[in-house]
Chain A
Amino acid sequence: NAGVTQTPKFRILKIGQSMTLQCTQDMNHNYMYWYRQDPGMGLKLIYYSVGAGITDKGEVPNGYNVSRSTTEDFPLRLELAAPSQTSVYFCASRRGTLNTEAFFGQGTRLTVV
């Protein structure tokens, strides 16, 4: 059982480049989330999805886009990378009831130079 898989683990981008962070889960969870984690700032929600075809903005969506064409996949797109997007990104999934926990991927460490 793979759980939540994120790729890549590490990436260096130049300012203005674009990239897609991949996230897939094999637990048939409805809810999926993208967070960024910066030192001392905890987890900030970028986007979330409550099911295939449904996405919505979190706290810090600017500069990012997402799609959810299948239950399993929830890619995060950076169109014009900026140094402020240097961070560690985590994808998570959850069944969606209040008492269920989120399962996290291992994270993607992104540096924009």
Chain B
Amino acid sequence: AQSVTQPDIHITVSEGASLELRCNYSYGATPYLFWYVQSPGQGLQLLLKYFSGDTLVQGIKGFEAEFKRSQSSFNLRKPSVHWSDAAEYFCAVGADAGNNRKLIWGLGTSLAVNP
């Protein structure tokens, strides 16, 4: 079955530290992968996406993600976290299901940043 797993429900990092948020997917075909961020009280905003080409993709706000087919992973990284990065992060995969080209969502990872 198609699925997206974000193993970490909650992560706390110190400001200035590096960050890696994990995302694993289960999908039979070539996946189309997305990372979204949700700030408190806001809707979801796209950070980056991957669908072909270079497996390391750059996104907004200094984020990057690496697609590893062998590990079925699409982990999100940032070299130095800022206090404003505290938010909920969601990984998603675009999948075909009949006439519904749907998005399958992970449950999210909540990021807290210590000053």
Contacts and interface: CB of A to CB of B under 8 A. Distances in A.
A41 B107 contact: yes
Given A50-B99, A99-B51, A99-B94, A104 B44 contact: yes
Interface residues of A, number: 26
A102 B94 CA distance: 10
Point out which of B46, B52, B94 has the most chain A C-beta atoms below 10 A from its C-beta. Answer: B94
Interface in B56-115: 90, 94-96, 99-103, 105-108
A43 B92 CA distance: 10
B99 A101 contact: no
Interface of A: 4, 31, 33, 40-43, 45, 48, 50, 56, 90, 92, 94, 96-107
Interface of B: 9, 32, 34, 41-46, 49, 51-52, 90, 94-96, 99-103, 105-108
